[in-house]
Structure 1
């Protein structure tokens, strides 16, 4: 048994959601490849060790159950394939704890199942989502939601903020490290698009129509994404601003390696309409550790029905394994 296994943390989200179900289904599916079990250990947060999906995993894998107070000795657990972390804490607490463990460098990545914003609030936290929790723990202000899909990829320039704040945030945006990091990340994408330009969308209708419909935000973005091509070794860089209402037409999917949307729904409505739960991974861009996630919600309406589609979790785990050896925020 290898002692050089990579260690991954998985938080399974709301107890009455599909997080544990898609986690179990994903791990069982991926275990068909022998190297998956040989090279990795998955530490999974659970609240009930008698839950049916926990029992399924225990039958399939070499497992151990520990408390969340026993994680100081993780090297002792490398002979197992799955380590269940039986926790009395609420799922939002799991995310805080797991983030701190990843910050310590002892885990290769954090993989998260969906967590409702209502549960975060009920647990006494002011944060409204995973991204805000990571910002609080890491003390890194500039974090971005990046969504990788089968057909196209989207980065959100702003996060969970009201629409009325989007324009103000764009006008003062100046995170120059994002440019270089995006170009570096692009190398991990599919060969057909990894050398294609990165497109950025306008904020206003018709991308400002040349200043007729405001246009200040578009002018700011055009200036910001004017990158010195010497950084790129003659490969294309950034193009835009694209008109938002046509940017995601099928003919553009292979023209660009990635789309930069200026606000949450501008990017996620088309992404989720096209990808559904069949494909799509959420990566938190900018963190000092690697975090991947499903791109869907808790789906409480199908909790306990064994109907949840695990494809997004399968892809989230695959991307965690792919990026963890050479991760750059």
Structure 2
């Protein structure tokens, strides 16, 4: 049987992404790994890690086995040779082209999933391109509504808002947006994780979930009425829960996933517990996309010491989700 083809993008050329891909290629992961980036960039990254890897042009032919250290490459040249730790805006178009190829390749079924290494948003914006992240880019590319979820073996956290200034979050918590998000999370917990009746804990926006309106009215005016409506449809929704107690063991046993209102409300809990085992997953896309849960680590770039654990976890989750999708397709 042919191995599933995983597209892997290297992200910021001056960051740790290329080195992480070299280390991923050195594992015995049962996948046909296709790196979408510059071939010479990968060769230099492997050398910095002290690894000997084989880089083959990707011709799209099925592979039934992959030797550790073997990596296929869809070559997209850099505009400027990377200097580890020093992002160059001239390479912004290279980064965006790799993402476009990964997304379009998944839509065309050339790849079973895409796994993304971290990129540097500032470098792309400095090149004059409006860009707020992988999640938003893939949503725009596919014209779909998406939700960011970070998942570890112990906890799943989805976000109602992603890369927004904290001052902009309350206005973004609208009934329409929150309903769309909860419906996506509910459907994807069923489709991707096989949970027939998902239980979702919804956090309040304000301290103590608003304290009955004394610490903010978003819970009373928006969150609670929506949860009541969706519960009437049969969704199992807890909350709104105070964020400071939602993650204690007694609460965790009651839900399958958490919906946080903003980026830093819940992710510190997740990352402090399982930083090397957490995966960023985009829900709602017409294809599978997973990623690391960390940034470009410019201070580590070029040293060969970056830990590939999160990228390996992302690749393994992508394979698990692709296998479930393939099985359901065969049974349909």
- After TM superposition, the score normalised by the length of structure 2 is 0.80
Q: What do residues 216-273 of structure 1 show as CA deviations (whole Å, max 9, x unaligned)?
A: 34542222233347756xxxx1100111222223443333211110011112222222
Matched with 1:70 is none
Matched with 1:274 is 273
Q: Distance in 2 between matches of 1:323 and 1:304?
A: 32
Matched with 1:150 is 153
The verdict on how the C-alpha distance between 1:294 and 1:240 changes in structure 2, with shifts beyond 3 A counting, is same
Matched, 1:44 2:27: no
Match of 2:167 among 138, 158, 164: 164
Q: Matches of residues 53-64 of structure 1 in structure 2 within 5 Å?
A: 53=46, 59=52, 63-64=55-56
User: Is the 2:159–2:262 contact (alpha carbons within 8 Å) kept by the matching residues of 1?
Assistant: yes
Q: Distance in 2 between matches of 1:7 and 1:125?
A: 30
Matched, 1:308 2:306: yes
Q: Which moved more, 1:8-17 or 1:42-51?
A: 42-51
Match of 1:83 among 69, 72, 76: 72
User: Is the 2:288–2:318 contact (alpha carbons within 8 Å) kept by the matching residues of 1?
Assistant: yes
Q: What do residues 83-102 of structure 1 show as CA deviations (whole Å, max 9, x unaligned)?
A: 11222142232112221222
Q: Matches of residues 1-329 of structure 1 in structure 2 within 5 Å?
A: 2=1, 4-31=2-29, 36=30, 40-47=31-38, 48=40, 49-53=42-46, 59=52, 63-65=55-57, 74-76=59-61, 78=63, 81=66, 82-89=71-78, 90-140=94-144, 142-174=145-177, 176=179, 178-186=181-189, 197-226=199-228, 227-228=230-231, 231=234, 237-276=236-275, 278-327=276-325
User: Is the 1:170–1:217 contact (alpha carbons within 8 Å) kept by the matching residues of 2?
Assistant: no
SS in 1 for 2:294: coil
User: Is the 1:30–1:314 contact (alpha carbons within 8 Å) kept by the matching residues of 2?
Assistant: no
SS in 2 for 1:29: coil
Aligned length in residues: 304
Q: Distance in 1 between matches of 2:172 and 2:180?
A: 17
Q: Distance in 1 between matches of 2:220 and 2:181?
A: 18
Q: Distance in 1 between matches of 2:15 and 2:146?
A: 26
The verdict on how the C-alpha distance between 1:130 and 1:190 changes in structure 2, with shifts beyond 3 A counting, is closer
SS in 2 for 1:306: coil
Cα shift at 1:304:
2.1
User: Is the 2:7–2:33 contact (alpha carbons within 8 Å) kept by the matching residues of 1?
Assistant: yes
User: Is the 2:149–2:283 contact (alpha carbons within 8 Å) kept by the matching residues of 1?
Assistant: yes
The verdict on how the C-alpha distance between 1:77 and 1:196 changes in structure 2, with shifts beyond 3 A counting, is closer
Please give the root-mean-square deviation of Cα atoms over the aligned residues, in Å: 3.0
Q: What do residues 283-303 of structure 1 show as CA deviations (whole Å, max 9, x unaligned)?
A: 011111110000001111111
